[in-house]
Amino acid sequence: MSSLTVQAAVFVGAQQPLVVRELTIDSTPGPGEVLVKMAASGVCHSDLHALDGDWDTPAPLVLGHEGAGVIVALGADVTELAVGDHVILSWTPSCQKCEYCVSGNPVLCQLANETAYQHVFFDGKTRLSDETSPVKSFLAVGSFGDHAMVPASAAIKIRKDAPLAQAALVGCAVTTGIGAVTNTAKVEPGSTVLVVGCGGVGLNVVQGARLAGAKQIIVADVSDEKLELGRTFGATHTINSRSADLVETVRALTNGRGVDYAFEAIGLPFTIEACYEAARRGGTAVVVGQVADGVKISIDPFVMSDQEKKLIGSNYGSSRQSIDFPKIIDLYMEGRIDLDSMVTDRIRLDQVNDAFAEMRQGRGIRSVIEYDLSPDYPAF
Ligand X SMILES: NC(=O)c1ccc[n+]([C@@H]2O[C@H](COP(=O)([O-])OP(=O)(O)OC[C@H]3O[C@@H](n4cnc5c(N)ncnc54)[C@H](O)[C@@H]3O)[C@@H](O)[C@H]2O)c1
Residues that bind ligand X (CB under 6 A): 44-46, 49, 172-173, 176, 196-202, 220-223, 226, 241, 265-268, 271, 288-290, 314-316, 359, 362
Measured from the CB atom, is 126 or 184 closer to ligand X? 184
Measured from the CB atom, is 95 or 275 closer to ligand X? 275
Angle at 314 between CA 368 and CA 260, to 5 degrees: 110
Residues comprising the chain, all counted: 380
Least distance between ligand X and beta carbon 39 (Å) = 20
The b/e string for 100-125 (b: 16+ C-beta within 10 A; e otherwise) is: bbeeebbbbbebbeebbeebbbbeee
SS3 76: coil
Picked from Zn ion, ligand X, none, the partner binding residue 25 (CB below 5 to 8 A depending on kind) is: none
Measured from the CB atom, is 46 or 137 closer to Zn ion? 46
Picked from ligand X, Zn ion, none, the partner binding residue 182 (CB below 5 to 8 A depending on kind) is: none
Q: How far apart are CA 206 and CA 228, in angstroms?
A: 12
Least distance between ligand X and beta carbon 82 (Å) = 29
Find the part of the chain contacting Zn ion (CB under 5 A) among 11-19, 91-99, 268-276, 362-370. Answer: 91-99
- Contact call for residue 101 and Zn ion (CB under 5 A): yes
At position 251, the amino acid (one-letter code) is R
Q: How far apart are CA 120 and CA 36, in angstroms?
A: 17
Measured from the CB atom, is 271 or 321 closer to ligand X? 271
- Contact call for residue 342 and Zn ion (CB under 5 A): no
- Total residues at interface with Zn ion (CB under 5 A): 7
Picked from ligand X, Zn ion, none, the partner binding residue 320 (CB below 5 to 8 A depending on kind) is: none
* Torsion angle (degrees, nearest 10) of CA 124, 63, 70, 115: 20
- Contact call for residue 109 and Zn ion (CB under 5 A): yes
Measured from the CB atom, is 103 or 361 closer to ligand X? 361
Picked from ligand X, Zn ion, none, the partner binding residue 222 (CB below 5 to 8 A depending on kind) is: ligand X
For 32, 75, 86, 321, the CA distances from 29, given in Å and listed in that order, are: 8, 5, 17, 22
> Is the dihedral angle over the CA atoms 10, 11, 13, 15 positive or is it negative?
positive
- Taking residue 275's Cβ as centre, other Cβ atoms within 10 Å add up to 32
The b/e string for 34-51 (b: 16+ C-beta within 10 A; e otherwise) is: bbbbbbbbbbbbbbebbb
- Contact call for residue 95 and Zn ion (CB under 5 A): yes
Considering only residues 163 to 202 of the shown chain, the ones binding Zn ion according to CB under 5 A are 172
Considering only residues 32 to 51 of the shown chain, the ones binding Zn ion according to CB under 5 A are 44, 46
Least distance between ligand X and beta carbon 12 (Å) = 21
